[in-house]
Amino acid sequence: MGHRPSFRSGQTGSTVNQTVPLDVGKSEHHAVALDRAGKKLYDKALPQDEARLRQIIADLSTHGPVLLVVDQPATVGALPVAVARTAGATVGYLPGLAMRRIADLHPGEAKTDARDAAIIAETARTMHHTLRQIAVDDEQVAELTMLCGFDDDLAGQITQVSNRIRGLLTQIHPALERVIGPRLDHPAMLALLRKHPSPEAMRTAGTKRLGNLLLKHAPRKGRVWAEEMTAALGQQTVVVTGTSAAALVLPRLAAQLETLRTQRDEVAAEVEALVDAHPLHPVLTSMPGVGVRTAARLLTEVAGKEFPTAGHLAAYAGLAPVTRRSGTSIRGEHPSRRGNKILKRALFLSAFAALRDPESRAYYDRKIAQGKRHNQALIALARRRLDVLFAMLRDGTLYEPRTPLAA
């Protein structure tokens, strides 16, 4: 498993003479530089500019090694991190949750860049254990992270456009929407909406022509769907206000949805190529229920991070139960509402896909027999599978079922 060490107490004090925390921003950052004794050497705003960032690091480096600390190592903080690395400075990261909790301990309620930078500076100087060292990223994982983020954006846009189409169909012809709406993920329906975007156009085309159009994309169901549409069209005789405008919008939305799905397929192919080329690909995909997208999520969310035990990884993923006790009034364990939501969702869906595996299905059935609901049983299965996954990543071994199946 990847390793992302934290700064130990005394580790930075013996090697770093200046600490330069940045409260990063889109157009400019605020920098506060402190020496070992806590004396303020610099307290100014810095533009998001490579030359200025290099200059301040070079000036401070004349007095000894420099530790640059940021509160966002990616997005708006990517340039300062890259400049500091090329300049030979050590780069540290103060997680946002730790930053906010420490800020609550300082007097004042103002939320300014200068105050945040000063808090980061004092924390980096006196509380080394709160910092995380930013290691050099795996190029494949960095590319996967960007592609997976773009895939998430495409998925959200697909959902938004699909809901818009279904909303318009429900407004002008609810019976027709009940036929087309649930099948919008099929290319045949998008081709239909592009050519016959209104109920009147579909009536004019007739069942035979609708069937011929649908058969090009759905050879098995084209005729059946055409007959269902004809039956739905006969259930409404009135023309709802806005039908003409919907006929102008629907083909454009259908074309947009088709483009988004094509882009997502292209991204999926690129993600698959990166996952196949990664050294951990054979390990991850050897586990039942772990496909390309799940493996990509595991690489982006787990690789490069250190977890001492499987319990720590489960807590990070939000799969570890939380104990709540207060005297005799509140007792028991409850599902965690925290953790990495992306990783938790990937593990949950992977557990659902693994129900085809006899061993996973047997464990799921035992939890159902104990009175757990479907989602509770899946979460329990995901937690159990995470223990196995942790050992696989730690040892670099492939998945082996506990009870070997007969040939």
* pLDDT at residue 325, as a whole number: 64
Residue 215, domain CATH: 1.10.287
Calpha distance 319→228 (Å, rounded): 44
Six-digit token string for 292: 């390309």
- Is 267 in the same domain as 296? no
- Is 253 in the same domain as 222? yes
pLDDT band at residue 330 under the 50/70/90 scheme: low
Residue at 102: amino acid letter: I
Residue 50, domain CATH: 3.30.420.10
pLDDT one-digit tens code per residue, 156-177: 999 999 999 999 999 999 999 9
Cα dist from 100 to 33, 80, 104, 336, whole Å: 20, 21, 6, 21
Average pLDDT of 142-152?
89
Which of 271, 304, 339 is at the close of a domain? 271
Which of 247, 271, 295 is at the close of a domain? 271
pLDDT band at residue 122 under the 50/70/90 scheme: confident
- Is 256 in the same domain as 162? yes
Q: Is residue 112 part of a domain?
A: yes
C-alpha count within 13 angstroms, C-beta hemisphere, residue 301? 22
Examine the pLDDT at 46 and tell me if it is beyond 90: no
CA 299, 150, 23 angle in degrees (round to 5)?
80
In this structure, are residues 146 and 252 in contact, taking their beta carbons and an 8 Å threshold?
no
Average pLDDT, the chain: 85
* β-bridge pairing 40-47 and 66-70: unpaired
pLDDT band at residue 213 under the 50/70/90 scheme: very high
Is the pTM higher than 0.75? The answer reads no
Q: Is residue 259 part of a domain?
A: yes
Which of 253, 271, 289 is at the close of a domain? 271
- Is 388 in the same domain as 308? yes
Q: Is residue 405 part of a domain?
A: no
Six-digit token string for 115: 């105050």
Q: Is residue 202 part of a domain?
A: yes
Question: What's the DSSP call for residue 107?
Answer: S
pLDDT band at residue 133 under the 50/70/90 scheme: low
Number of independent structural domains in the chain = 3
Q: Is residue 8 part of a domain?
A: no
Calpha distance 87→18 (Å, rounded): 14
Calpha distance 202→216 (Å, rounded): 17
- Is 111 in the same domain as 173? no
* pLDDT at residue 8, as a whole number: 42
Q: Which residue has the tokens 């005297």?
A: 327
Q: Is residue 401 part of a domain?
A: no
Examine the pLDDT at 234 and tell me if it is beyond 50: yes
- Is 245 in the same domain as 287? no
- Is 217 in the same domain as 147? yes
In this structure, are residues 92 and 7 in contact, taking their beta carbons and an 8 Å threshold?
yes
Calpha distance 186→371 (Å, rounded): 38
Instruction: List the single range of 55-59, 332-336, 348-352, 361-365 with lowest mean pLDDT.
Output: 332-336
* pLDDT at residue 11, as a whole number: 43
Residue at 135: amino acid letter: A
- Is 99 in the same domain as 170? no
In this structure, are residues 87 and 54 in contact, taking their beta carbons and an 8 Å threshold?
yes
- Is 68 in the same domain as 113? yes
Angle at which helices 310-317 and 374-395 cross, to 10°: 130
Give one DSSP letter per residue of 269-296, joined into a string. Answer: HHHHHHHHHSTTHHHHHTSTT--HHHHH
Calpha distance 237→229 (Å, rounded): 14
* pLDDT at residue 305, as a whole number: 75
The 8 Å CB, 24+ separation contacts for 39-47 are 43/114, 43/117, 43/118, 45/113, 46/22
User: Helix, strand or coil for residue 87?
Assistant: coil
Calpha distance 178→165 (Å, rounded): 12
Q: Mark out the alpha helices in 199-242 (DSSP H runs).
A: 199-215, 222-233
- Is 288 in the same domain as 371? yes
Six-digit token string for 400: 């082996």
- Is 31 in the same domain as 111? yes
Residue 218 is part of which domain span? 143-271
Q: Is residue 374 part of a domain?
A: yes
* β-bridge pairing 28-35 and 18-23: antiparallel
- Is 229 in the same domain as 177? yes
Six-digit token string for 265: 């397929």
* pLDDT at residue 3, as a whole number: 41
Q: Is residue 402 part of a domain?
A: no
